[in-house]
Amino acid sequence: MKRFVTFEGIDGSGKSTISKLVSERLRSAGHDTIWTYEPTDSTIGKFVQECIRSQTDPFITSFTFIADRIQHCKHIQQWLDNGKIVLCDRYAESTYAYQAAQLESELEDPLKWLRELSEGRILLPDRTFLFVIEPKIALARIQHRTELIPFERVAFLEKVHKNYLKISKGKRFLKLDATQSIDQLVQLCYDDIVQETKKK
Ligand code: TMP
């Protein structure tokens, strides 16, 4: 069974809705499940949210997202040690996709820099779902939100989208077509998480 699972995608990709429904489904099936998210509600997480709103220097934003994650991992490790399944709405790939887009004119290889800051300090998920959707479609889905944050602009999200596709390679990643129905997506994620239990 996959124990630490992360949900990634651009704003409006639907990953929050789906990850919450998957967590409810796991709980109903008797699995002790925690649903969590980043940026967190901790003091550092609140500072991160302020960095986004006020368009703070991208280096400061990057450091604080990573600091929030390092702190978050201490809780995630405890939950895993206590036998829980942990579903996390956004995690390291959000930093690699969004902050690499922010830093592309500042550094030659922002992804390498961001990875070096993180690796060895954060936990590796068993599975990362990437919700793939065209930025224009995703943005149309969230137009009703009263206050769109600076990251929710099409040109920026195009870069983030490309970064996500570039970094989501390897066995840990499962790319999902985010335009499928909610029921289909929940089923796909649920089946994938519980799959290995059945095989054992
Ligand atoms: P949310 O809408 O999922 O709560 O995330 C808030 C914004 O923060 C969203 O536009 C993505 C962005 N973000 C980053 O830029 N880097 C990160 O590491 C994380 C976790 C989120």
Shortest-distance atom of ligand 1 to CA 16: 3
Question: What residue owns the CA closest to ligand 1's atom 15?
Answer: 98
Dist CA 103 CA 133 (whole Å):
23
Evaluate whether 18 touches 186 at the Cβ level (below 8 Å): yes
Which of 47-56, 61-70, 127-136 has the weakest average pLDDT?
Answer: 47-56
Going by pLDDT thresholds of 50, 70 and 90, the confidence category of residue 145 is confident
Contacts of 42 (CB under 8 A, 6+ apart): 68, 71, 72
Q: How far is the CA of 94 from the centre of ligand 1 (A)?
A: 6
Map tokens 């290889």 to a residue. 109
pLDDT at 153 (0 to 100): 84
Q: What is the pLDDT of residues 88-100, one digit of tens each?
A: 999 999 999 999 9
> Which residues sit with their C-beta closer than 6 Å to ligand 1?
11, 38-39, 52, 65, 90, 94-95, 98-99, 149, 151
Shortest-distance atom of ligand 1 to CA 38: 20
pLDDT above 90 covers a percentage of the chain that reads 88
Q: What distance lies between CA 100 and its chain's CA centroid?
A: 15
Q: In what order do the strands lie in the sheet with 4-9?
A: 33-37, 85-89, 4-9, 127-132, 173-177
Q: CA angle 124-125-129, nearest 5°?
A: 140
